[in-house]
Structure 1
């Protein structure tokens, strides 16, 4: 059997997905910082804050470079890489495992799955992933949004959250995060369907890295537009006000509280504040992920094939 056709177990898909996701995040991380800070910029009646306000991604990059230097654009990168690796490893593993199990039991001919089933499997994998990885998301959000003089290491941030908010503090925003499981579900279901259409219409057997980039970009744009208000709500729930604003603003109690207060103070378009930066970051990241996952998958297959051949020789 040619190496390219070697079957890859769920852990192999997870490894390839994680590697691709980490590469993508490293490429677009400054945009990740900007979109997170824009998402937590809120109007508070009668309260003035000295926090920087960004009008756009470019404006945010300029202000951060001026105030914090180049390192400011990569604040919280280590925890974000850990989060991305763990999230994508868990997601790709769960998705591949569930898809394989479903095909084995209900779809033995390995035919094309319906859009509804793709969405269901994606949402189930996303829910399992969210329950495991939300603490890393909370820690990353804190590191990205706190002023430079209040920023702590991953361990110190974790300790502070546990001391001030208890164990529940590490799972802030888990409810909207579970709702947002439809985001990767929409993304991957759209990707599979667009991929199928592209292969059929172009009469090719596999997507090139560039085609994978375009199909991934289109898939992620659709998912981001649909789910953005909840993305913003999740980030605000995980955000912590800087010391200068402690005691002056009322903490959010849930995603509906976030959405209603934003609607009251900033109007309907407040729900979509920072969406252009989010889409730019998400689309580039997801497109790079899909493109690099195929490349990393090939190398992962080669590694697994080599390991299997070594085991056979030893036996």
Structure 2
């Protein structure tokens, strides 16, 4: 951990997350569309039904152009900053408070608990932005609205509660960052201990080492929690307006009451493999994003510490100069 306040850690984390998500945003659009597509809607929207991540990339590029790969970019990046800032703030604050009361090394189990608590607090605060982003990423070309327009429509059609669709799945998914950061801290401690034994007393990992540890941590967390990641997106998604032309049976198949309802319906229609639709781009996106985030956050944190040190030095020099 860097010598930063919760606000400093939150700022470094938010900047790192922004950089990472901007780099992989097209993958986010692709995986989201793969997650929400259903066989019932294939005949109605053939251009929005994809056989693979590559097929999705080519079809979006053909029908919507390059900007189609950045649908919901503004909301997505705003949500990324808000989510990362709030998570790192709560994580730093909760972890710091715990260490003050219980000095000494923190166990892996406690790291997971602290991460889950921080994740839950963050999700409750930022879920509305995620709902708006999902709607923008999955809306048909003729149904796309601005951030404010999308939010207003959700409130008009579903009430304010519509902005918190998928909250149940989101709270379950709090174990995702808990697993990620718990594994990251554990692997980082092990790696630093090995470096120390080898004579490296810097106490810091290189960018490459941080990338590898971040990638491994996020890959494990994504595979374990993916069914609920898919369920969360489906809960936040809204079927296109022409779903009304489907039979009652097919309409029921694409209308969901809860994340459990989604998992049951997908399992009945597609088997366990249906729970992992869109896993490939999700894994690539999540691993790259998380690894880049860890690298960027550490770098931003180091720069912030340097800036604080410079400001502190300037404050001590100024009185001395004025007194001459």
TM bucket (normalised to shorter chain) is: over 0.9
In structure 1, the residue matched to 2:166 is 173
**Are 2:44 and 1:49 equivalent residues in the alignment?**
yes
Q: CA deviation at 1:314?
A: 6.8
Q: CA deviation at 1:310?
A: 4.8
In structure 1, the residue matched to 2:106 is 113
In structure 2, the residue matched to 1:187 is 180
**Are 2:59 and 1:63 equivalent residues in the alignment?**
yes
Q: 3-state SS of the aligned residue for 1:149?
A: helix
**Are 2:277 and 1:281 equivalent residues in the alignment?**
no
In structure 2, the residue matched to 1:145 is 138
In structure 1, the residue matched to 2:32 is 36
Q: 3-state SS of the aligned residue for 1:281?
A: helix
In structure 2, the residue matched to 1:125 is 118
In structure 2, the residue matched to 1:234 is 232
Structure 1 residues 135 and 314, CA, compared in 2 at 3 Å: closer, same or farther?
Answer: farther
Would the aligned equivalents of 1:135 and 1:171 in 2 still touch at CA under 8 Å? yes
Q: CA deviation at 1:44?
A: 2.9
Would the aligned equivalents of 2:75 and 2:129 in 1 still touch at CA under 8 Å? yes
In structure 1, the residue matched to 2:209 is 211
Per-residue Cα deviation, 1:15-68 (whole angstroms, up to 9, x for no partner)? 0000000000010011000000000012339x7321422222222111111111
Question: How far, CA to CA, are the matches of 2:17 and 2:43 in structure 1?
Answer: 38
Q: CA deviation at 1:231?
A: 0.3
Taking structure 2 as the reference length, the TM-score comes to 0.91
In structure 2, the residue matched to 1:97 is 93
1:81 aligned to 77, 80, 85, which one? 77
Q: CA deviation at 1:308?
A: 3.8
Question: How far, CA to CA, are the matches of 1:97 and 1:311 in structure 2?
Answer: 27
Aligned length: 307
**Are 2:257 and 1:253 equivalent residues in the alignment?**
yes
227-236 vs 195-204, greater mean Cα deviation: 195-204
Q: CA deviation at 1:233?
A: 0.2
Question: How far, CA to CA, are the matches of 1:58 and 1:120 in structure 2?
Answer: 38
Would the aligned equivalents of 2:11 and 2:85 in 1 still touch at CA under 8 Å? yes
Question: How far, CA to CA, are the matches of 1:247 and 1:119 in structure 2?
Answer: 46
Question: How far, CA to CA, are the matches of 2:170 and 2:227 in structure 1?
Answer: 12
Structure 1 residues 299 and 236, CA, compared in 2 at 3 Å: closer, same or farther?
Answer: same
Taking structure 1 as the reference length, the TM-score comes to 0.93
Structure 1 residues 206 and 153, CA, compared in 2 at 3 Å: closer, same or farther?
Answer: same
Question: How far, CA to CA, are the matches of 2:91 and 2:284 in structure 1?
Answer: 25
Greater gyration radius: 2
In structure 1, the residue matched to 2:192 is 199
- List, as ranges, runs of 4+ consecutive aligned residues in structure 1 with deviation greater than 3 Å: 306-315
Q: CA deviation at 1:309?
A: 4.2
Structure 1 residues 164 and 298, CA, compared in 2 at 3 Å: closer, same or farther?
Answer: same
198-207 vs 20-29, greater mean Cα deviation: 198-207
CA RMSD of aligned residues (A): 1.7
Question: How far, CA to CA, are the matches of 1:149 and 1:299 in structure 2?
Answer: 45
Q: CA deviation at 1:6?
A: 7.5
**Are 2:306 and 1:302 equivalent residues in the alignment?**
yes
In structure 2, the residue matched to 1:269 is 273
